[in-house]
Amino acid sequence: MVLAVLTAALAVYSYFEIQTGLPLLTARIPTHSGATAPVSQVLSIEVYFCFILQLLLAVAFWCAAYVAADKIHLGSWSLGRYTPQQQVRILPALRELLGVLALLESVYFAARINMGIREASAHGRLLPPDWMRHLIWTDVEWLAALMILGGIIIYIYLGKFDEVAGEENNASTSAGSGSSKSSGTVN
C-alpha cells in the first residue's frame, strides 16, 4: 500500500511540476529552419509524453500484480513452475516486486520531467542548439542506472521467491522427519 501511495504521489508531483514549470519557461531554442521556437512548446511534448508513460507503466505494473500475476515471466522464471500452495505464498512477494518496479519507473520519469524543466530554465534567453542532445545523453545515463538497479532488485526478489517457496518444503520435511522420530521412540 505504501508503494502505491508513493507511486501516486510521484505522478501528482510530475503533473504539478509540468503545470507550474512550463509556463515559466521564456527561453527560445534554435530550430532547423533558422528560426527560434519557445522552449516551452518544444519541451511540453516531451514532458507530457513522459508523464503519460509514467502513468501507463505504473498502472500496468499494478494491474499485472493483481490481474495477470500467473502470466508474468522474468527471464526463465515464471510463477507456473511452483505448486499452487507455493504460488499463494509467493504472490504477495511478487506484488511487492511489481510495486517496487512501478515506484522505480515513477522516480525515473518524475526526475526526467524535473531535469528537463530545470535544464531549460537554467539557460538564458536562447538555449544552445545542442541542448536537446545533452538532455538525451543525461536520459541515457539515468536509464542505464534504472536498468541496472531494476535488474538487481529483480535478482534479489527471485531469491526471495525461492526462499518463500522453500519454506513450505522445509516445513513438510521437518514435519516428516519429526513423525519418523516419534515413530522411532514409540517402538
Write the pLDDT tens digit of every residue in 67-80. Answer: 877 777 777 788 77
Copy the grid coordinates of residue 4: 502505491
Neighbours of 82 (CB within 10 A): 19
For CA atoms 25, 28, 30, 35, the dihedral sign is: positive
The end-to-end CA distance of the chain, in Å, is 53
Query: Which range is most confident: 35-49, 117-131, 145-159?
Result: 145-159
Place of cell 512501478: 102
Separation CA 102–CA 58 (nearest Å)? 5
Alpha helices in 25-130, H assignment, sequence order? 39-66, 84-122
Helix (H, G, I), strand (E, B) or coil at 58: helix
Q: Could you tell me which residues are beta bridge partners of residue 37? A: 29
pLDDT at 124 over 70: no
DSSP 83: -
pLDDT at 181 over 60: no
pLDDT at 184 over 60: no
* Average pLDDT, integer, range 14-27: 83
pLDDT at 15 over 70: yes
Q: What is the CA radius of gyration of the chain?
A: 24
Percent of the chain with pLDDT over 90: 20
HSE (side-chain half, CA atoms, 13 Å) at 152 = 6
